[in-house]
Amino acid sequence: MDLLLDVGNTRLKWGLHDAAGWHGQGALPLAAVDGLADVLAGGAPVRRVLGANVAGAALGARLDTLLAARGLAAGWIGAPREGFGVRNTYLDPSRLGADRWAALVGARALHGRAALVVTSGTATTADVLDGDGVFQGGVILPGLELMRRSLASDTAQLTFADGRFEATPRRTADAIATGCLHAQLGAIERMFRLIAAEDGALCLLNGGAAASLAPHLECPLRVVPNLVLEGLARMPDEF
């Protein structure tokens, strides 16, 4: 059994995978990553650990210590120039986030055609993967929740409150919720236009805000629970 780890800005997402497929997935707040010990105790023996970590070296070291106590050592991936059917054209390929690289690999494995690979978490990323598996580049913007909270923290009269999407909002809370959602949708749809003419082009959407975004997106769409884990699952033992 492989333990696969997606260590993001606010949560650790984990998955247990073998040749037969997934045997469980879940998530833990970064403040509670010690709960990973319960995952290890409750499942089949783990033969290897592979992860993508964008939460920093300190958290990586904490996880290494937790795993070492159980006789395990994590392999932490970086972004290469090319691999697993994807070519990375970042000006400095190593500067591409490990999570974005793994998500591109997962997208290529699940959909072998042009794709806009969107992760909607603390930040939203929208990465262009053409039909030949070439990562052409992408954008990063504040995530949906971060957009809403920034208005509450940086303006005197726009407090953070629950709002809902409305075509023409007539409450401030709804105006904020709708405006932030439109900003996310607009960025995604504009990026999708770059591949819209390619045969079978699809937006692959994952992340914590996917359920909020998906009903309103006006482009061909597939929601995937965690593209980073899907990508890690395609990386062989020698990686």
Residues serving a catalytic function are 99
- Among residues 186, 123, 117, the alpha carbon closest in space to that of 150 is found at 123
**C-beta of residue 82 within 8 angstroms of C-beta of residue 169:** no
Q: 74 - beta bridge partners?
A: 49
Q: What is the largest CA-CA distance in the chain?
A: 58
Give the DSSP letter of residue 45.
P
**C-beta of residue 190 within 8 angstroms of C-beta of residue 179:** no
Give the DSSP letter of residue 31.
G
Beta strands in 77-215 (DSSP E): 82-83, 86-88, 115-120, 123-129, 134-142, 202-206
Count of CA atoms in the C-beta half-sphere (13 A) of 72:
23
d(C-alpha 44, C-alpha 2), whole Å = 10
Question: At 8, which amino acid appears?
Answer: G
Sheet of strand 74-76: strand arrangement: 21-29, 11-18, 2-7, 48-53, 74-76
